Structure 1
Amino acid sequence: MMDIAANRFTTKKALYERIAKQGTVSKADLMPLFDIKTSTMNRLLDELLSEKLIIEAGFGPSNGGRKPILFQINPSWGYFFGLEISRFYSTLGLFDMAMNPMSITRWRMDEDMTPQKFVKQVATTVRALLLDHRITLDQIKGMGIGAVGPLDRDAGIILNPLYFEAKGWTNVPICELIREQTGIEAKLDNGANTALLGEHWAMRESQLQHMLYVHVGVSLRSSMMSYGGIVHGSVDREGSIGQMIIQADGPRLHAHGNYGALEAYVSIQAIERLAQSEAKLGRSGLISRASVKPEDIKYDLLLNELNMENPNTLELFLKTARHLGIGLANLINIFHPECIILGGTLINSHESFYRTAIEVAIGNTYYYPEYTPLFSKGLLREDAVAAGAALMMWKGLNV
């Protein structure tokens, strides 16, 4: 009996998720997708209707008989929060059951944003959003958190991430703190994974099964999806892509990193070091302001020069993009994804950076042109982590 009950529960949940993915659908559309009898389908649909998880959405076109009833999920049955914790800024989104964003709020992660202050900021924002949208706390079904790693996902702890401006971001039991301050159950995963979940959902009409997500900014982060599911390793090290060796006798970015690792060539700190080194060697024209000392050349200044179409600065970025392309080619030749989503501040720094990285990656893809993956900046972009975090909670919902 337990096996029958478990199978019924699994079918019901799969049916609910299928209705959610397709938006509006008839019973006739659903029947070929499930190996169940018509009577079972009717019973499950009736249960979902009685529980108000789905609603009737009018009638579809007739094929000669009665017009079929259309079903869709009830977007106001419950709500989810999706929280991104990043180094530069954090994002809190409120989503309905159809994963429609109702509100997106961002704030800077400056040197004062300690974990304690951060959690209070989240709690204050949660209360404000509930009030604005006239939602009660019991209607909130959970908060998904996508954070910079490394993490202990099961324990809900942010372990020892690098480069946070504020102190205290070591061994932070973020899920426990969120529950204490908001009364909302929380679940943690790394931001690259939730970003890929979000983008996969946004692109669901394409029916992609194998995807790769790479974020290029202060550090490099990546996530892989196979057969529609996130690939988790035995440990959470989303930044491991940065330790991919692309030059055996090359430099390393930090004392704990590999020599010749990708992060030493492709990251904000790497491009800052390259610019400072070039300036110290006497290369002129990188920065239009001649009074700037080499050690004062920072990313924001380089980005400003890039926006002014400084050719010397552009070449600096393109050199970085070529190295990224080599790293991408290595990943592509191992995983063979259908689609690669590229995100992060370096990807968005200049269209030439994005295009150059892709050109180099394709040029070093072994089975090209027989195998040609799709490249994209994604549909959700800066909202992907928060949206995917909310979706993670939605997928874990018992229906």
Structure 2
Amino acid sequence: METPHAKATSKKMLYQYIANQGIVSKANLLSFFSIKTSSMNRLLEELATDGIIRESGRGSSTGGRKPILFEINPDYGYIIGIEISRFYSSLGLFDMQMNAKSFVRWRMDEDMTPERFVTHTAQQINALLKDHDLSHKQIIGIGIGAVGPLDRTGGVILKPMHFRAQGWINVPICQMIEDACGIPASLDNGANTALIGEHWALRQEKLQHMLYVHVGVSLRSAMMSHGRIIHGSVDMEGSIGQMIIQADGPRLQENGNSGALEAFASLLALEKQALTDERLKEEGMKSTYRGGSEVIPYDELLRELSYGNSHVLELFLTAAKHLGIGLANLINTFHPETIILGGTLISSHEQFYQTAIETALQNTYYYPEYTPLFSKGALREDAVATGAALLIREKLNFEG
């Protein structure tokens, strides 16, 4: 006799399969799962009775009655996905089919302390629920994708660098969100949730081995093998940035490696390099240099790039070539099918993106016999929050 736990496991497997496929028939389910027809009928009936799945019309006949088609019920509940980043944060409201009902985004400025962030987030959630005539009870959970390092199990943001506001050290973000909103929350690294989101968006391509690299204030990465995120023994933010690409090279920060990738291909590296570039001082950006300045703000570099400043473009493309070397190292180690590139620098200029790819492929072993695909992703800036919401759907409880 099947135990309650075994039945719940079977229901969860069926639900996740239907969710990923979109619309399926019972015959399709029977061909994929080793479940007896009578048991399958019972499980589908219970899922439908509970409102978790629903009938979705009938398929084509192969000689007999047209088969009943099933899909997950989009209105069974709703999920909130949150991204916590250094430049901005975002919040998305999704139904169970991962249709985005609303997205909001805000800047993370000097005043956005953890306490202010939680208050603002709770206000945004309340506003979205009111707009869509939903109650807090209809929200299954809140998924959070954040910069690290993290204690994922404890729901704590540990000691991230480069937040503009103070206080982002040892922040029990899940507990704070739960206390403010009355909704359970789960936490994972934003690079992981971005890759989860992009993998879901590209699910029809049936990709199994993927790599995600975020290039912004710092460098972050996530890896997927056989369709599952690879979690290491620790969650250390920015480790990819410490990949040494030039022995005895420059160091970006006191606690970083000399010659590390972050010193050549990050937003902070560009700001630092621009300040010491004599050509920019003399020809390109005289008006931006002020006495005692320690950096040229990235926003000003980006503006000069849009104006066609050739020296600034060269600065960006040199960084892109260094990024390409780092990407080649990752490719030669993990051999992914697809690499998703995201972050501020990737979207800064199309030539930056293309130069990084060209350099990576030139240094990929066995190229062109082995040619991984590059993409900016399907979800792009919404990937982190979408993947965070997917985490909640995957944790849906079928016990009881």
TM-score (norm 2): 0.96
Q: Once structures 1 and 2 are overlaid, which stretch shifts more, 37-46 or 143-152? A: 37-46
1:121-161 deviation line (CA, Å, top 9, x unaligned): 01111111111111111111110111110111111111111
Distance 1:291 1:386 in 2: 35
Distance 1:322 1:282 in 2: 20
Distance 1:297 1:112 in 2: 22
Distance 1:68 1:337 in 2: 38
Deviation at 1:112, TM superposition (A): 0.7
Tell me if structure 2 keeps the 8 A contact 1:25–1:70. Answer: yes
2:284 maps to which residue?
286
Q: Once structures 1 and 2 are overlaid, which stretch shifts more, 31-40 or 182-191? A: 31-40
2:11 maps to which residue?
12
| Letter of the 1:286 counterpart | G
3-state SS, counterpart of residue 238 of structure 1: coil
Distance 1:127 1:284 in 2: 52
Deviation at 1:348, TM superposition (A): 0.5
Distance 1:56 1:286 in 2: 64
Distance 2:296 2:156 in 1: 35
2:358 maps to which residue?
359
1:348-387 deviation line (CA, Å, top 9, x unaligned): 0000100010011111111212211111000111111111
Distance 2:339 2:160 in 1: 25
Distance 1:18 1:282 in 2: 55
The answer to whether structure 1 residue 175 and structure 2 residue 174 are counterparts is yes
| Letter of the 1:56 counterpart | E
| Letter of the 2:130 counterpart | L
Tell me if structure 1 keeps the 8 A contact 2:280–2:311. Answer: no
C-alpha spacing 1:243/1:396, structure 2 compared with 1 (3 Å)? same
Distance 2:6 2:371 in 1: 39
| Letter of the 1:7 counterpart | A
Deviation at 1:282, TM superposition (A): 7.2
Q: Which runs of 5+ in 1 are unaligned?
A: none
Distance 1:37 1:370 in 2: 44
1:252-272 deviation line (CA, Å, top 9, x unaligned): 100000000000001111011
Distance 1:90 1:247 in 2: 34
2:391 maps to which residue?
392
Distance 1:313 1:59 in 2: 59
1:260 maps to which residue?
259
Deviation at 1:311, TM superposition (A): 1.8
Equivalences for residues 295-334 of structure 1 within 5 A? 295=293, 297-334=296-333
What count of residue pairs does the alignment treat as equivalent? Answer: 396
Tell me if structure 1 keeps the 8 A contact 2:23–2:56. Answer: yes
The answer to whether structure 1 residue 339 and structure 2 residue 335 are counterparts is no
Deviation at 1:291, TM superposition (A): 6.2
Distance 1:376 1:260 in 2: 27
3-state SS, counterpart of residue 238 of structure 2: helix
1:6-49 deviation line (CA, Å, top 9, x unaligned): 33322221111111111111112222111111112111111111
C-alpha spacing 1:282/1:63, structure 2 compared with 1 (3 Å)? closer
Distance 1:35 1:166 in 2: 53
1:56 maps to which residue?
55
Distance 1:345 1:326 in 2: 19
Q: CA RMSD in A?
A: 1.5
3-state SS, counterpart of residue 102 of structure 1: strand
Q: Which runs of 5+ in 2 are unaligned?
A: none
Deviation at 1:101, TM superposition (A): 0.6
Deviation at 1:64, TM superposition (A): 1.8
Percent identical pairs in the alignment equals: 64
C-alpha spacing 1:369/1:271, structure 2 compared with 1 (3 Å)? same
Equivalences for residues 231-250 of structure 1 within 5 A? 231-250=230-249
| Letter of the 1:292 counterpart | Y
Equivalences for residues 1-399 of structure 1 within 5 A? 4-279=3-278, 284-287=282-285, 289-290=286-287, 292-293=289-290, 295=293, 297-399=296-398
1:206-260 deviation line (CA, Å, top 9, x unaligned): 1111110000000000001111111111111131000000011101100000000
C-alpha spacing 1:383/1:284, structure 2 compared with 1 (3 Å)? same
Tell me if structure 1 keeps the 8 A contact 2:160–2:237. Answer: no
Deviation at 1:286, TM superposition (A): 3.4
TM-score (norm 1): 0.96
3-state SS, counterpart of residue 388 of structure 1: helix
Tell me if structure 1 keeps the 8 A contact 2:288–2:296. Answer: no
| Letter of the 1:342 counterpart | L
Tell me if structure 2 keeps the 8 A contact 1:275–1:286. Answer: no
